[in-house]
Amino acid sequence: MKTYKLAVLPGDFIGPEVIDATIAVLDALSSKYGFSFSYTRLPFGGSALESHGTPLPEATKVACGAADAVLLGAVGGPVGRHPWNRVPREQRIESGLLGIRKYLGVYANLRPVKVFKGLEHLSPLKSEVVRGTDMLIVRELTGGIYFGKPSYNRADEGLSTDVYTRPEVERIARVAFEAARLRGGKVTSIDKANVLDVSQFWREVVIGVQQAEYSGVELEHLYVDNAAMQLVRSPRQFDVIVTSNLFGDILSDLAAVIPGSLGLLPSASVGGQVGLFEPVHGSAPDIAGQDLANPAGAMLSAAMMLRYGLNEEAAAKAIEQAVERALAENPTKDLGGTRGTQAFTEAVVRAITKSAG
């Protein structure tokens, strides 16, 4: 039986709680699909800063690089209450997150946005607008204006450079087209090609990749301003969105509001040797240790790990269906249900045990 080596970074506050819940689900699933997992828990974030003097110890980095996938909970502590918030910038917890992403060389950030049946009322948008929303935003993560040179802030002038090379656009386009093949078969590439040369280049390269390698996938283009309107007006129209670092940063946060709860959102960062999978939410110190953390985002991140990191599509679907069933029966307290972390986890495990295999 194949054993996948998982590097597990539980992190702080509710991080370990949602990770424990997710491991219970992975264990329930594994033997049914002919594989198992070995877990190596590694210090990371505020707890690592306390024990090792850095949020990202060297040994954690090395173990992540040698794993089949990295599963992360959440990191961070409340300002002023913990000493790690008074440390120099390079020792801050956020630098650990950026550090591990950089070390793993992940260049594609995948953020699904799904509105679950029966939970439409949580959205700040009208239920009839959001019902059935199920999209995946693929954001380029290591290029574009956040990293372009030259870049400066002088007394009389500021400058940032938006630059993309052909290989950078080709590889992110492939991630989007591959994902679309596993989903609804449609990619929307978002740019500002009516104004920006770099966007015209982006659009031409994406079209080239589609014509040469993915003619079975539908491709459309939207300007970013129109895309922002469409996401709010009619989010159901999207399947896979692919876009640059800057536009993806803004649009993925806009879209994250649509399902109405942070606790439900998973994410993946892929493209390097090893992928990193983590819920979108933070460490939620306000609810830690009270059986209140919604583990759905972390469990759905594990489903993304199975799909995009380990190529185990059937097992990924089994987690997603079990989470969806448990949410429909009786969701967690943050969503208006009565289940705590433990009871929700047990419900997901039950759904997997009954149906998978």
Ligand X SMILES: NC(=O)c1ccc[n+]([C@@H]2O[C@H](COP(=O)([O-])OP(=O)(O)OC[C@H]3O[C@@H](n4cnc5c(N)ncnc54)[C@H](O)[C@@H]3O)[C@@H](O)[C@H]2O)c1
Q: Is 77 in the site for ligand X (CB under 6 A)?
A: yes
End-to-end CA distance of the chain: 15
* Cβ within 8 Å of residue 140, ≥6 positions away: 107, 108, 109, 164, 168, 169, 172, 242, 243, 244, 245, 248
Judged by CB under 6 A, the residue of 134, 170, 291, 334 near ligand X is 334
By beta-carbon proximity to ligand X, the closer residue of 29 and 74 is 74
- Each residue 13-52 as x (binds ligand X by CB under 6 A) or -, in order, gives -x---x----------------------------------
- 235: phi then psi, degrees, rounded to nearest 5: -65, -20
Q: Is 203 in the site for ligand X (CB under 6 A)?
A: no
**Other CB atoms closer than 10 Å to residue 325's CB: what's the count?**
17
Determine which one of 61, 192, 308, 333 is catalytic: 192
- Give, as ranges, the residues between 234 and 263 that touch ligand X (CB under 6 A): 262-263
3 state SS of 339: strand
Answer whether 130's CB lies under 8 Å from 106's CB: no
By beta-carbon proximity to ligand X, the closer residue of 286 and 313 is 286
Using a 10 angstrom Cβ sphere, with 0-12 exposed, 13-18 middle and 19 or more buried, the burial of residue 309 is buried
Distance (Å) of CA 39 to CA 45, 49, 51, 64, 306: 18, 22, 20, 11, 15
- 44: phi then psi, degrees, rounded to nearest 5: -160, 145
Strands 2-11 and 152-153: unpaired
192 catalytic? Reply is: yes
Residue 276 CB, nearest distance to ligand X (Å)?
Answer: 10
Residue 7 CB, nearest distance to ligand X (Å)?
Answer: 16
Q: Is 76 in the site for ligand X (CB under 6 A)?
A: yes
Q: In b/e form, how buried is each residue of 197-229, taking b as 16+ CB within 10 angstroms? A: ebbebbbebbeebbeeebeebebebbbbeebbe
By beta-carbon proximity to ligand X, the closer residue of 229 and 328 is 328
By beta-carbon proximity to ligand X, the closer residue of 19 and 173 is 19
Q: Is 322 in the site for ligand X (CB under 6 A)?
A: no
- Give, as ranges, the residues between 286 and 315 that touch ligand X (CB under 6 A): 286-287, 293-294, 297
Judged by CB under 6 A, the residue of 114, 139, 281, 339 near ligand X is 281
Q: Is 185 in the site for ligand X (CB under 6 A)?
A: no
Judged by CB under 6 A, the residue of 67, 74, 222, 224 near ligand X is 74
- 31: phi then psi, degrees, rounded to nearest 5: -65, -25
Q: Is 284 in the site for ligand X (CB under 6 A)?
A: yes
Answer whether 160's CB lies under 8 Å from 198's CB: no
Q: Is 218 in the site for ligand X (CB under 6 A)?
A: no
Interacting span for ligand X (CB under 6 A) from 73-81, 149-157, 162-170, 316-324 = 73-81
By beta-carbon proximity to ligand X, the closer residue of 14 and 303 is 14
12 catalytic? Reply is: no
By beta-carbon proximity to ligand X, the closer residue of 30 and 283 is 283
Alpha carbons 80 and 249: distance in angstroms, whole number: 28
By beta-carbon proximity to ligand X, the closer residue of 20 and 191 is 20
Which residues of this protein are in contact with ligand X, per CB under 6 A? Answer: 14, 18, 74-77, 97, 262-263, 278, 281-284, 286-287, 293-294, 297, 334
Catalytic sites, residue numbers? 146, 192, 225, 249, 253
